[in-house]
Copies of this chain bind each other. A is one copy, B any other.
Amino acid sequence: MQKSIAELLQEETFLQEVTVKGWVRTFRANRFIALNDGSTINNIQCVVDFENTDENILKRITTGAAISISGILKESLGKGQRIEIEVKNIEILGDSNPEEYPIQPKKHSFEFLRENAHLRVRTNTFSAVMRVRSALSFAVHKYFTENGFYNFHAPIITGSDAEGAGEMFRVTTMNPEKIQKDENGNVDYTRDFFGKETNLTVSGQLEAETYAMALGKVYTFGPTFRAENSNTTRHLAEFWMIEPEMAFYDLDANMDLAEDFIKNVIKYVLENCKDDLEFLDQRYTKEEQSKPQQQRSEMTLLEKLNFVVDNNFKRVTYTEAIDILRNCKPNKKKKFQFIINEWGADLQSEHERYLVEKHFKCPVILFDYPANIKAFYMRLNDDGKTVRAMDVLFPGIGEIVGGSQREERLDVLKEKIKTLGIDEKELWWYLDLRKFGTAVHSGFGLGFERLVQFTTGMGNIRDVIPFPRTPQNAEF
């Protein structure tokens, strides 16, 4: 098997003949080809003997062209690389007309690159982001597997709409030109593919609970959906979520897991994506420099990542957080858009960022939230007004994890469902878990793209997923 550029750049045996295929990044002085094959952010330098090379070939060595190079692997005398290839033969596999190729060796705006999402991964920034994304994804599976969790594939199409985590997309095969109605003039969903109304999942949690109560520790890692008209740098209509769910875990064990998990996956990429992270670190620093002094991050990207790995997350109750916020300067000076007056207020992004970035200056886990601002399935505390919920808040990102200990008591859960006006029949199977062998259990959800954003330092969530889905945009 032919070696990748990542492998060739590690070679210790010089003077061997090698063949390498890749895409031209730059061609300088009719002599130096910087060749990349995607296996690493680093190019391999291929030195062309232009005097003895067909001019028609030389002309076709343009940015983006696919070529195959055979030559001798040599120690490089030039600066910037340890190794280079003395080219013996060049074959043009696929041309790239410089007049037409959108990805030229210059700075392109992220907006422009989003419109060319099929080509943007050919740039240094996006290839680095996507390699880190891939490594994070593997780190997730590795962490859970090594810690006794089973991967569980939650259903994507769901007939259950009780979770209420957000607006849903409907899934249907009914012809919108002629929707079939029943005798009362209502849409006749029995004619639809699944014989009922179905939607795209907003969370696999409820189903994951059924598996946790049998396999002990499980996790999902799959796409989830929100049909919300949010055009922000933190929201996608389609995103990937990681949801572990553990029998016999209380909220403390849940918080321990969330912290250990995040630290471990970041550690994994620090160890396995050095070159990509160094590049992204420099990019981040440059971007920060273009901001006004007071908006700049105090740490470089790598410093931020190491900080998360090395420091304990601060655990703070909601009640403590409200006290801090009520008495803080921006609240008193009415700098917050939403002024915090009373216990019970829902925290906005500005408050979370204040706590994390200004007050504690480290990742924060808020817990024990008021029951009425949290989901129905969270376990009620003995005070009768707070629930065993937790959110992990990250600098620059805000909420990265939301979780809870689940209400395991059938009577309390039924009461809650009734109060909210949810039909018990909708949740018969969820209630069964409390009828038959119920136990303390907990879990959380982590938005994968927010983790990728944090790890790569990318400001816009649309730039950390290959083909972002947002309102009015489902190109490709």
Closest to A467 in B: B155
Residues of B within 8 A of A193 (CB): 169, 227, 237, 471-472
A153 close to chain B: CB less than 8 A: yes
What 1/0 flags go to A151-168 for Cβ under 8 Å of B? 111111111100000010
Q: With A38-B216, A170-B173, A193-B169 given, is the CB distance from A94 to B151 under 8 Å?
A: no
| B169, A150: Cβ atoms closer than 8 Å | no
Which of A44-52, A343-351, A433-441 participates in binding chain B? A433-441
- Quote the shortest CB–CB distance from A33 to chain B (angstroms): 13
Indicate if A96 sits at the interface (CB-CB under 8 A): yes
Minimum distance in angstroms from A26 CB to a CB of chain B: 14
**A10 → chain B closest CB, angstroms:** 12
A279 at the B interface (CB under 8 A): no
Is A383 on the interface with B (CB-CB < 8 A)? no
A79-87, A115-123, A289-297, A455-463 - interface stretch: A115-123
The answer to whether A177 has its CB under 8 Å from any CB of chain B is: yes
Which one of B6, B66, B465 lies within 8 Å of A437 (CB-CB)? B66
Q: List the B side residues contacting A225 at CB < 8 Å.
A: 156-157
Q: Is A363 an interface residue (CB 8 A)?
A: no
- A151: which B residues are within 8 A, CB to CB? 133-134, 137-138
Q: How many copies does the complex hold?
A: 2
A14 CB contacts on chain B under 8 angstroms: none
Instruction: Tell me the nearest residue of chain B to A3, going by C-beta.
Output: B148
Q: Check if B476 sits within 8 Å of A429, measured CB to CB.
A: yes
Which of A195-203, A364-372, A396-404 makes up part of the contact surface?
A195-203
In the complex, chain B residues whose CB is within 8 Å of the CB of A238: 155-157
Cβ of A325 < 8 Å from any Cβ of B?
Answer: no
Spot the interface stretch: A206-214, A302-310, A313-321, A387-395: A206-214
Q: How far is the CB of A60 from chain B (nearest CB, A)?
A: 11
Q: Does A171 contact B (CB under 8 A)?
A: yes
A173-B179 in contact (CB<8A): no
> In whole angstroms, how far apart are the Cα atoms of A207 and B118 in the complex?
8
Pairs across A and B, CB under 8 Å, 6 listed: A38-B217, A134-B150, A137-B153, A141-B141, A170-B174, A172-B172
By Cβ-Cβ distance, the 4 closest A-B pairs, closest first, are: A94-B438, A38-B215, A38-B216, A159-B474
